[in-house]
Structure 1
Amino acid sequence: MNWRAAIKGFQAYLKLEKSLSPNSIEAYSRDIEKLYQYSETQTIKINPESITLADLRLFINWVNELGMIPSSQARILSGIKAFYKYMLMEDIIKDDPSELLESPKIQRKLPDTLSYEDINKMISAIDLSRPDGARNKAILEVLYGCGLRVSELTELKLSNLYLDIEFIKVTGKGSKERLVPIGGAAIKALKIWIEQVRVHTAIKKGEEDMVFLNRRGTRLSRIYIFMVIKQLAETIGLKKTISPHTFRHSFATHLVEGGADLRAVQEMLGHESITTTEIYTHLDREFLKGTIIQFHPRN
């Protein structure tokens, strides 16, 4: 079997059998593309079904030499393991060469967060006299108020807003749906955008149910959300490098600092495992340590 056919079959498996989102399928495909690129650099070309554990170890060394950080290497390794699991299930191979492949050791990096004051400054910096001002304010309020991933925000639908009972329904990783509480500030910003501004937008066919639209009446791209946030950060003179995900981290951090139950935060973020959410307990410990140093009379 050649690489193109193998990758195409793997993509079909991820879509039909695993029900993964297009973004996840694309990420897995990129991982296998890297393995294919590596095979093309070899004097003797390697087919996907003839790869050995030794080949995969050499590939990981090759990736390491390209300067990829351990977390990126671990993600690629995860993609490769999923690929060979598929190959095994389809009887294309008899033994899984990735079974004994070890992941690189990863130091868990605490994510960057914004203070509540910085978030307020960014929201206050939005020019509400512009046609996109009300929309951009609603975007930031929902990102921070609900802790959404950027893809969850861009795919948010009007039919999934239950503002009267203060909930929204979002579609997360693996097309899994969850209900997320939404607070007063985000509801107010959403209503202004939807009822006073969005109603005057000429909407393209097929986009009628999307909450956030551009001036052409189509849904916003992930890149556009990044640009909005970057420009606002520059406007207030923020030196941190931030992204839409920074608002998600800030949402979780501020909840944990305020004493929220970790299981509740896990549910709101849509984390499959509590261990993913536990990173915010480390942030909380730093917050507590700083509080003691600042306010304890013996310090």
Structure 2
Amino acid sequence: MKSWIKFINDYKSYLKIERGLAANSVENYGFDVQKLVDYLIANNMDVSPIAVDEEIIQQFIYHIATELNPRSRARIISGLKSFFNFLVFENYRKETPMELIEVPKIGRKLPDTLSVGEIDALIGAIELNKIDREGKSQGERNRAMLETLYSCGLRVSELVELKLSDLFFEEGFIKVTGKGNKQRFVPIGSSTQKYITIYIETDRNKLNIQKGFEDTLFLNRRGKALTRAMVFTIIKDLAVKIGLHKTISPHTFRHSFATHLLENGADLRSIQLMLGHESITTTEIYMHVDRKFLNNILNTYHPRR
């Protein structure tokens, strides 16, 4: 199976360099192909990526159908299609074995949202002056982070990668690096600017900042960049603290950002630009959230209202 390792590594390099995908996305695409490799090994099928045919792929699809839900199967099939298209593109194969493989039909998953009151309660539960065992406080940092997540609609990866040099407070914007290293400018309100400034001038300035992280905005107690997992933990701990019985994550703040903008009359195109969605159809998922809002739009703007 050595040939699979080589081709998967070449594929991942292509995704990173040619398509500019983030490291997490590249790894996920690699995992999709690895699922097929694991199946071949388990069934003693010594076949290369060049020789694998549609029949083998179909057997693999039947196999995962007994283990995975339609959404997970669709994800793997999509990843395999991308991999074999890469092999065709690089002239390793003449055609892809995925041509007639159908993707399972799945319903679009509707995003969870928080009310303004729930977001205020979560942020209000942060103990701003609590000192840890090392004599350091993360309260101001945590408040600034959650305010930024909600007020700017960032992905968690965009939050932890935010730089001091990305802050353009005088202009009222921050520069955000999103998927595929694509950059966009997102408006930032004065209150969020204030919380970030307080964090920088208090908690952050007291840290021993490690080399290479001097420009990173949100730091852990060791002076290095926060991990995505740490942001998840902070949010989940706050949810437990206030007795919030919802499954939430940093992405919930992003969903809430878009939902609340839509409910208050913002147009989809503006929301799309702020979220950094390539396609307006991705943003349209938020149209489900408030049927009453849609009725109000119809009654306000339609000539037969």
TM bin (shorter chain)? over 0.9
- The residue that corresponds to 2:59 in the other structure is 58
- CA 1:29–1:44: 2 relative to 1, 3 Å: closer
- The residue that corresponds to 1:294 in the other structure is none
- The residue that corresponds to 1:137 in the other structure is 143
Q: Secondary structure at the match of 1:33?
A: helix
* Aligned partners of 1:40 and 1:46 also within 8 Å: no
- The residue that corresponds to 2:30 in the other structure is 29
The one-letter amino acid of 1:85's match is N
Deviation at 1:276, TM superposition (A): 0.7
- The residue that corresponds to 2:117 in the other structure is 117
The one-letter amino acid of 1:212's match is F
- The residue that corresponds to 2:101 in the other structure is 101
TM-score by length of 1: 0.93
Q: Secondary structure at the match of 2:19?
A: coil
Deviation at 1:137, TM superposition (A): 0.2
Instruction: Work out the CA distance in 1 between the residues paired with 2:78 and 2:45.
Output: 25
Deviation at 1:14, TM superposition (A): 1.0
Give the 5 Å matches for 1:122-201: 122-130=122-130, 131-201=137-207
- The residue that corresponds to 2:90 in the other structure is 90
Give the 5 Å matches for 1:261-272: 261-272=267-278
Deviation at 1:240, TM superposition (A): 0.4
* Aligned partners of 1:226 and 1:244 also within 8 Å: yes
- 1:5 lines up with 2:6 in the alignment: yes
* Aligned partners of 1:39 and 1:45 also within 8 Å: yes
**More deviation, 189-198/136-145:** 189-198
The one-letter amino acid of 1:59's match is F
Q: Can you list the C-alpha shifts for 1:221-250, whole angstroms capped at 9, x where unaligned?
A: 000000000000001000001100000000
- 1:45 lines up with 2:46 in the alignment: yes
Instruction: Work out the CA distance in 2 between the residues paired with 1:47 and 1:61.
Output: 20
Runs of 4+ in structure 1 displaced over 3 angstroms? 286-290
- The residue that corresponds to 2:77 in the other structure is 77
The one-letter amino acid of 2:231's match is I
Deviation at 1:287, TM superposition (A): 5.6
* Aligned partners of 1:170 and 1:178 also within 8 Å: yes
The one-letter amino acid of 2:72's match is S
Q: Aligned residues: percent identity?
A: 53
* Aligned partners of 1:201 and 1:215 also within 8 Å: yes
Q: Secondary structure at the match of 1:278?
A: helix
Count of residue correspondences: 289
Instruction: Work out the CA distance in 2 between the residues paired with 1:16 and 1:108.
Output: 30
Of residues 254, 259, 263, the one that matches 2:260 is: 254
Deviation at 1:63, TM superposition (A): 1.9
The one-letter amino acid of 1:53's match is E
**More deviation, 186-195/142-151:** 186-195
Q: Secondary structure at the match of 1:242?
A: coil
Instruction: Specify every segment of 5 or more residues in structure 1 that has no aligned partner in the other structure, as ranges.
Output: 291-299
- The residue that corresponds to 1:230 in the other structure is 236
Q: Can you list the C-alpha shifts for 1:94-144, whole angstroms capped at 9, x where unaligned?
A: 111112221110111211110000000001000001210000000100000
Instruction: Work out the CA distance in 1 between the residues paired with 2:89 and 2:109.
Output: 35
Deviation at 1:258, TM superposition (A): 0.8
The one-letter amino acid of 1:204's match is Q
Deviation at 1:289, TM superposition (A): 7.0
Deviation at 1:192, TM superposition (A): 0.6
The one-letter amino acid of 1:80's match is L
Deviation at 1:288, TM superposition (A): 5.3
Deviation at 1:69, TM superposition (A): 2.5
Q: Secondary structure at the match of 1:247?
A: helix
- CA 1:287–1:261: 2 relative to 1, 3 Å: closer
Deviation at 1:286, TM superposition (A): 6.0
- The residue that corresponds to 1:16 in the other structure is 17
* Aligned partners of 1:24 and 1:174 also within 8 Å: no
The one-letter amino acid of 1:193's match is Y
Deviation at 1:45, TM superposition (A): 2.5
Instruction: Work out the CA distance in 2 between the residues paired with 1:164 and 1:283.
Output: 34
Deviation at 1:196, TM superposition (A): 2.1
* Aligned partners of 1:147 and 1:248 also within 8 Å: yes
Deviation at 1:46, TM superposition (A): 2.6
The one-letter amino acid of 1:56's match is I
Instruction: Work out the CA distance in 2 between the residues paired with 1:248 and 1:74.
Output: 24
RMSD: 1.5
Deviation at 1:266, TM superposition (A): 0.7
